[in-house]
Amino acid sequence: MSIDWSDLWNDTLIRILPDGAAAPRVLWVALALVAVVVAWPAARRTSRTLVTIVHEAGHAGVGVLVGRRFQGFVVEKDLSGHAVTAGRSRGPGRIATTWAGYPAPAVLGALVVVAALGGLAGPVLVVSLIALVVLLVMSRSVRTVALVVLTIAVTGAVWWFGGQWRAGVVGGVGLALLLGAWDSLGDVARSRGPGQDHRTLAELTPLPAGFWLFTWFLADAAATALALLAVWDAWQAA
């Protein structure tokens, strides 16, 4: 069976390019998906896995932007994670890298919601696949490799086979990331562990740990407001 490369290229291009304004059903699919995440414990756990991956990617991405070297990351059995960047042990770069993890799921989630409702699900999925391949290369445990490979497979399937449901699924994942960001912020606020990011920030700066928790709250709140505004606009247009 021969492959028609022209058709394959056209099919790929169609899936990469923006779709134009999203249909009203996109909003309903997104809301239904996030309702499943809230109501079904297995889906909630899967969502938390994705939140952890994005959290660690936030550390890594900001670390690279400020001149640090990303050396790898792991996702633990309890769905906590750890990203390793090399560079100065103190200073603005280390502070920015340490701070970036907790707001990353909320910021990315809000941007994904806005993009999906704006007809940009295809480009979002392509960028996500590229980022996930980079994370796969930097995975430093068998569990982490397996989780990232599974995430790549699901993302690729949604991108290629999602059809008219693709934007709704992407929007739902964005809302789930926002929900997970609030969950993880609540968890770290209740935690008494000495190695938590806000306590590390308190050691790196003259500001207390509570201040850094508050900055994450503000970042999550701003991201949530942006996503809700996009959802409201889509609701009005439906």
Averaged pLDDT, 11-18: 86
Is the predicted pLDDT of residue 14 greater than 80, yes or no? Answer: yes
Instruction: Report the C-alpha gap between 53 and 81 in whole angstroms.
Output: 8
| Chain segment 183-203, per-residue pLDDT in tens | 999 999 998 877 899 999 999
Which residues does 181 contact at the CB level (< 8 Å), separation at least 6? Answer: 51, 102, 103, 105, 106, 109, 220, 223
Residue 7 belongs to some domain of the structure: no
Instruction: Pick the range with the lowest mean pLDDT from 17-26, 153-162, 169-178.
Output: 17-26
More confident residue, 129 or 14: 129
Whether residue 1 is predicted with pLDDT greater than 80 in this model: the reply is no
What is the overall mean pLDDT for the chain? 92
Residue 168 CA to its chain's centroid (Å): 16
Would you say residue 47 lies in a domain? no
Residue type, 17: L
> How large is the average pLDDT for residues 66-85?
91
- What's the confidence (pLDDT) of residue 2? 63
| 48 inside domain | no
Q: Is the pLDDT of residue 237 over 60?
A: yes
Cα separation, 92 vs 95, in Å, equals 5
Distance CA 171, CA 108 (A): 11
In a domain, 140, yes or no: yes
Q: What b-and-e string marks burial along 194-212, b requiring 16 or more CB atoms within 10 Å of the CB?
A: eebbbbbbbebbeeebeeb
* Residue 66 one-letter amino acid: V
d(CA 148, CA 118): 27
| Count of structural domains, the chain | 1
Residue 12 belongs to some domain of the structure: no
The answer to the question of residue 53 being in a domain is no
Would you say residue 8 lies in a domain?
no
Per-residue model confidence (pLDDT) at position 18: 84
Q: What is the pLDDT of residue 51?
A: 96
Helix 121-137 with 142-161: angle, nearest 10 deg: 160
State the pLDDT at residue 93: 96
Q: Which domain holds residue 175?
A: 18-42+102-237
Q: Does 81 map to a domain?
A: no
- The reported pLDDT for the residue numbered 148 is 95
